[in-house]
Amino acid sequence: MVNSSERNLKLHCQSNLTDLRDQFIYEGEKFEFSFYDFDPENKHFWCDAYGLNNFFESFDIFGKTAPSDDVMIWYLQPDGLYYNDTNESGYRQSWWTWSDTAL
């Protein structure tokens, strides 16, 4: 998860079996993580992002409605969440538009 916004963010990612707890990522920094859940019936992972000015978003990062590639690079940008699942440098696919553009 790369913080490409102009704000410092608190990120909380989890699944039904794993909780990565609160992580603070500053502007331009990244937070790398892996899930090792062994429940083949429930491969759903999501994150909550918190910023300034009462900003909060919750979004899927694997399974359910999200792409389910083994390796993903997610970008938190001012207008929404983007991902890169290819080896093409700089290519980002839009995934989620923020409900409040407070970033």
pLDDT in tens, 21-64: 999 999 999 999 887 766 667 778 888 888 745 567 787 777 76
Range of the domain at 43: 2-97
- Rounded to an integer, what is the distance from CA 86 to the centroid of its chain? 17
Count Cβ atoms below 10 Å from residue 83 Cβ, excluding itself.
20
Please give the tally of structural domains in the chain.
1
Whether 62 and 16 have beta carbons less than 8 Å apart is answered as no
Q: What is the pTM of this model?
A: 0.72
Q: Would residue 26 count as lying in a domain? A: yes
- From its phi and psi, is residue 20 left (phi > 0), alpha (psi between -120 and 50) or beta? alpha
Whether 59 and 83 have beta carbons less than 8 Å apart is answered as no
Q: Would residue 90 count as lying in a domain? A: yes
In the prediction, which pLDDT does 101 show? 46
Q: Would residue 72 count as lying in a domain? A: yes
Q: Would residue 103 count as lying in a domain? A: no
Distance CA 27, CA 14 (A): 22
Q: Would residue 6 count as lying in a domain? A: yes
